[in-house]
Every structure is written in C-alpha cells, then in structure tokens.
Amino acid sequence: MEKHEIKNICCIGAGYVGGPTMAVFAKYCPDIQIIVADINQLRINAWNDKNTSKLPIFEPGLEEIIIRRRNKNLFFTCDLENAISNADMIFISVNTPTKTKGIGAGKASDLKWVEASARQIAKFAKTETIVVEKSTLPVKTAETIKKILSRSQENDFKTEKKRFYVLSNPEFLSEGNAIKDLENPDRVLIGGDDEKAISLLTRIYLNWVPDHKIIKTNLWSSELSKLVANAFLAQRISSINSISAICEITGADINEVSCAIGMDTRIGSKFLSSGPGYGGSCFKKDILNLVYLSKFYGLDEVASYWQKVVDLNYWQQHRISKIIVNKLFNNLTSKKIGILGFSFKANTNDTRESPAIQICKDLIDEGADLIIYDPKVKELQIENDLGPKQGEKDKEGSWSFSNLVMDVAKDADAIVIATEWKEFKSLDWSKMSKLMRSPKWLFDTRGITNYCDLKGCNINYWKIGLGDLSSL
C-alpha cells in the first residue's frame, strides 16, 4: 500500500469497546482526527451530552478523557457516510451476539452487523482504506469482510480504484477496568498479511505502548487467540466455582484454597475468586463459538468439553438460588428480598449475561418480591433484562427498583449481594439489620463481606465458598 501515515480514523460502533478504545486513542494521538459512528441516535446523543455524567457507558477514568478530547479530535456521530469516506483507517466494533435461530443457533455468532458495516465501508470508502476488526469475531470472519470489500474493488469504475487492507486487532480490555487496560495493556495483538498496514497500526499504538508488547500474527491466529483467551479465563471461573461448592460442604475455606493454588507459579492467582459465575458480552459467546467451531470440524469431544464450562456457570447461579430458597423455609411467596448490585461486575453499568439476572428470575419464579439497587444500572435496563415489574397476581413474584441502598433492607427477609461494588464492603449492617424482618439472612455471592462486621447484628449469614456461617 502507498499510505504513509494515518490522519483520520473512523470507528463503527459506540459501545463498550468502541467508545473507550477510541477515547484512549484520542488521548494519546492528538494529531489524529477520530470519529465514532453509530446508527443509534440516542446513544450518540448521550456521548455528546454536555453533562458527561450521562455518558452511555460507565468506566472509571472515561469521563475525564471525554471532557478533554471531545470536539477536539474525538467526535461522535450518526453520519456513517461522511465518517467512512474521510477515514484512512476504520475499526469495526459492533455487537456480535449469539444467533437465536437458523444454522448454529445458540452457539454461532450473528455477524449481521459486521457484514452491514463491511458493506457500508465498501460503499462509502474512497481510495486506500485499512479495515480493522476490533469486535470479538469467529475465526475466518476476516475472509467474509475481504470478500465483501473485494467485490467493491472489482465493481468500482471511478478514476481511483478502491483498495482495502484487513487487519485483526482484538480487544483484551476488562469492563470496569477498561481505561487502565487500554492505557497499559498486557499485549496488543495485530493480525494481517500486509506489512505496511500492520506497520501503520503499530505506529499508532507506539504512542503509548512499548514495542515489545505488540505481537504480530496472521489474521486467523489473531482471531482465534481472542476466543481462546476468553475461553481459558471463563474456564478458570467455572473451575473455582465448582470448588466453592465442595468447600461449603466440607468446611474448607475457598479463600484459603484459592490463595494456596494461586501461589503455584504454573497456575497464578488471577481469576480464582469464587462467585455467582461470569457474565459480560464475551465469555459465554466466545466459548459457544469454540463449541460451534469444534462441532463444525467434527471435534465432538472438544465441543463437549467447552460446553461444560458454560453449563457449570448456569449451574452455579441456580445453585445459589436453591440455597436461598432452602434457607427461607422453601417458600418465597410474598417474601421481600433485597438485591445489592445488578451489573455483571463492579465498575460497569453493563448487565449483559449478568449472574444477577438468572438469580433474580429464579427468585421471582418462586414468588419473591425483589427490591434492586445498583449504583450505575438504570431501572429501564433492569426492566429489559427481567421483564415487567409485576407478575400475575398470586402466581409469581415481582421486582422494584430504588436509588437508595438502605431501601433494600426495609422489611426484607433477606439481602443478596450480587455484584462486588466497593460501597457494599462498608455497609452499616447494624442499621440494615434494624430495618429487616426476622429471621434475617444475608447471602454474599461475591465473598466481599467480613463476618466480624455482622457480629451482634442478629443476621444469619451465608458466604460463597464457605457456606452457612450463622453458627460461628
């Protein structure tokens, strides 16, 4: 390719990956004009809102960057045509949910938004354009993008023929820690077959990332590496959660077990905290991609192995729900249960695949009346995940939402900590207890509370990986 530098970047998709990633790009590359384009007008309006507390995504450190770079070299728009036509490099950062119907339903990724983005690029791009896969994609997706773009090259009869170069640059950020992960990544992976295009993307990252952290591979290795990384992380979570159940029965302490095995250098300490299971947009989806890929190539045993990681995640959530029901005399009808946290993890407002969703649904099905508090998740999002607030009279439970953390305790039979928000670690359980109805229960699914803080509060206490601590 002939291009010598990147002056204009377009990112298609203003979600949890595209927004924060481009914000960091804008911070460290002030000479590059960056446009984040999305068809969702409400989302773009939120990104452009003068009140930056209304940004559609909550990430520690994100708001500060937006304040400094927005409308300087960082812009948000719904005008895809202009954003694409002026870009030297285009990132595809759109949603790739699991297919709900057709071939591969329940496992394969739905690539309609990726394909739609590729067609928009093919239509509006002008001359030489580098197209970068940023979304988490199945292996060989780049082949589809290449075919769509090459057809545009063949059919373009303008004076200057269009040329496209496809790279894979998967994200490895962790929601809730996205800005830190983007500013100080463990590694940056760039896959492609055009050395010049790879070099141009590398030069962008070199503005803040050391050269030794930038790994260059072929396209297919890059795509597969992202899926495998998420699968391995999810596997660790499912593995330690299976051990948490054994600990609760045997009297072992899950924290002591995690510490002991985490000190083994062959294993390491990360992702060994027990909880209600993994959530977010990637882990489940990427494992199911591996399951589908394995089945497609006739590797049934491999497919079965990875499917069990997903199955155990659901098992953990249902296990916790059953424990709550059992401790409350196998009857939740008209009982009030406070839910602390609804996002899939702390420091994010993302609820996709949140363990809290399944646990709440299980409790509602048992007839419980839930009151939910989360510092960043909006009531409308909870309604999207759980459905209408009130079920059929006398047949199922209900849910409500409060902006005040103490409200979850009023007349509550039990409180469930579903997300590990920092503020939940320092709650005044003495005050909470006085508002609750006896016999009172606290179910800590994240293991963040200290038993010493509950002494004298007359609260029965169950903690993940330790079990019922009421008698201590």
> Terminus-to-terminus CA distance in the chain, angstroms?
70
Q: Which residues contact 79 (CB under 8 A, 6 or more apart)?
A: 37
Q: How far out from the chain centre does Cα 236 lie? A: 17
DSSP-derived 3-state class of residue 214: strand
Distance CA 238, CA 172 (A): 20
User: How many angstroms separate the Cα of 443 from the Cα of each of 71, 113, 339, 391?
Assistant: 46, 40, 10, 24
Active site residues: 282
DSSP 8-state symbol, 340: E
74-77 sheet: strands from edge to edge: 74-77, 33-37, 8-12, 89-92, 128-133, 163-168, 188-191, 214-217
DSSP 8-state symbol, 390: B
**CA dihedral of residues 157, 163, 168, 169 (deg, nearest 10):** -110
Distance CA 25, CA 28 (A): 5
DSSP 25-88: HHHH-TTSEEEEE-S-HHHHHHHH-SSGGG-SS--TTHHHHHHHHBTTTEEEES-HHHHHHT-S
DSSP-derived 3-state class of residue 166: strand
CB 32 within 8 A of CB 204: yes
DSSP-derived 3-state class of residue 12: strand
Helix or strand (DSSP H, E) at 417: strand 414-417
